[in-house]
Amino acid sequence: MGKVILKLAVKRKHGHLYYVDAKGNVWETKMARGGRKKKKK
């Protein structure tokens, strides 16, 4: 398991997922759920 090196280095957006690759780059991707409410049918 990894450990926290630096906290609050990236300003996070709601509905996005962040991860660090092997080279130390931070990647941002939209979560499948996205944090949005579903429309009623």
For the stretch 5-34, what's the b/e string if a residue is b when 16 or more beta carbons lie within 10 angstroms of its beta carbon? eeeeeeeeeeeeeeeeeeeeeeeeeeeeee
The string of pLDDT tens digits covering residues 8-28 is 677 888 888 888 888 878 888
Instruction: Give the 3-state secondary structure of residue 17.
Output: strand
pLDDT, position 29: 85
pLDDT, position 36: 63
Tokens of 24: 């130390």
Q: What does the alpha-carbon distance between residue 40 and residue 6 come to, in Å, rounded to a whole number?
A: 42
pTM, to two decimals: 0.49
- Res. 1 pLDDT band, cuts 50 70 90: low
In whole angstroms, how far apart are CA 29 and each of 32, 34, 41? 9, 10, 28
pLDDT, position 21: 83
